A = this chain, B = another copy of it.
Amino acid sequence: MNFYETDLAGIAHFSAYFRFMEEAEHALWRAAGLSIGAAEKTGGWPRVSAAFDYKSPLRFEDEFEVWVRVARITRRTLQYSFVMTMGETKIATGSTTVVCVSKAPDEPMKAIDLPAEILARFEVAPDSEA
């Protein structure tokens, strides 16, 4: 964890976890042979929701893992869940839901069906927590 992610309480600021979440999500896309960057050209992927439960603080230079899995797929949304760990210690759990939207300049966003080529690359992972 980086110095710029700390706050005056000496721990990682809670908002930094949402950036860790995004990094893990995009790494999952790359591992699936996809890129949010390419996907952005045809449609957008705004968030519907994002949440974290904080279990144990992160301190400067702590090294941690972010585990991400696809928790749920609907016609127009993907839900991910996250577990952050440092060795045996659970740091945090989180989740986020993204929706696929059509991309037309100066028009309101409109939810559309997940593109088939993206749907083909993901499946719901069994819950490793269960």
A residues lining the B interface (CB < 8 Å): 2-4, 6-11, 13-15, 18-19, 22-23, 26, 30, 35-37, 40, 44-54, 57, 59-61, 96, 109
Say yes or no: B13 contacts A46, CB within 8 Å. Answer: no
How far is B15's CA from A37's CA once the two chains are assembled, in angstroms? 18
How far is B11's CA from A8's CA once the two chains are assembled, in angstroms? 7
Chain B hits for A26, CB < 8 A: 2-3, 61
A14: which of B8, B23, B30, B47 is its contact (CB, 8 Å)?
A: B47
Chain B hits for A13, CB < 8 A: 3-4
Say yes or no: A15 contacts B4, CB within 8 Å. Answer: yes
Chain B hits for A3, CB < 8 A: 7-8, 13, 22, 26, 36
Say yes or no: B46 contacts A60, CB within 8 Å. Answer: no
Chain B hits for A19, CB < 8 A: 2, 4, 15
How far is B13's CA from A23's CA once the two chains are assembled, in angstroms? 13
21 A-B pairs within 8 Å (CB atoms) are namely A2-B26, A3-B8, A4-B15, A4-B19, A4-B22, A6-B7, A7-B7, A8-B10, A8-B11, A14-B18, A14-B47, A15-B15, A15-B50, A37-B60, A46-B54, A47-B54, A48-B54, A49-B51, A50-B51, A50-B52, A51-B52
